[in-house]
Structure 1
């Protein structure tokens, strides 16, 4: 029997899209993290959201092809701090808990996101 990808175990595109739709408003409304979305047009935010969905789907083994830049290039010069990262992780955990992911998938998502930290935190 072939093991399902994380993408499949999470519920595919619709589930990942739902998580992003839950996470982004939290991040944008956060007193510290909101600065990253100030003065952004709605079209730019929508594009960024779609790139995030594509990145997560592709990284989780889904059939989507991510066409964006890598995490290092994307976040270079943004001044993302350890404190920003910790707040982001708290919002991510809260969002994932709302979806009641099984323990294994929850841990795999956090491990994957954690693996991107060195490219994101400046």
Structure 2
């Protein structure tokens, strides 16, 4: 029997903690903070819960995600390569501090790499 990434990451509470710490760091980050500069607490709380729901579902947990697809959710934000690189740095930092194993971390990074074309704008 194969154990889901959701279970190997520690389930809902662990994914919730990861998402909360990641978003808190991104909000405070000199580069990424601009994406939250003009949002209120209610919007931020809803966006965080949608992120948790999405991550739980995508890692194999039992969660119904009610948000938009990644392309639509990020359209018009102007997320570029530098933003993406900084975001990945924060993902790695938070995952490392929370003790995410190398195998699970690699799966998370591969998952994010698959999402990148839907989120990052291409210039050219």
Q: Which residue of 1 aligns with 2:73?
A: 74
Gaps of 5+ in 1: none
- TM-score normalized by the length of structure 1: 0.97
Q: Which residue of 1 aligns with 2:112?
A: 113
- 1:60-86 superposed Cα distances (whole Å, 9 cap, x missing partner): 010001110000000011100000000
- Superposed displacement of residue 102, structure 1: 1.5
In 1: Cα distance, 2:97 partner to 2:113 partner = 20
In 2: Cα distance, 1:120 partner to 1:45 partner = 19
Spell out the pairing of 1:27-106 with structure 2 (5 A cutoff).
27-106=26-105
- TM-score normalized by the length of structure 2: 0.95
Gaps of 5+ in 2: none
- 1:15-43 superposed Cα distances (whole Å, 9 cap, x missing partner): 00010121111100111111100110100
- Superposed displacement of residue 113, structure 1: 1.2
In 2: Cα distance, 1:36 partner to 1:50 partner = 17
Q: Which segments of structure 1 move beyond 4 Å, counting only runs of 4 or more? A: none
Q: Which residue of 2 aligns with 1:23?
A: 22
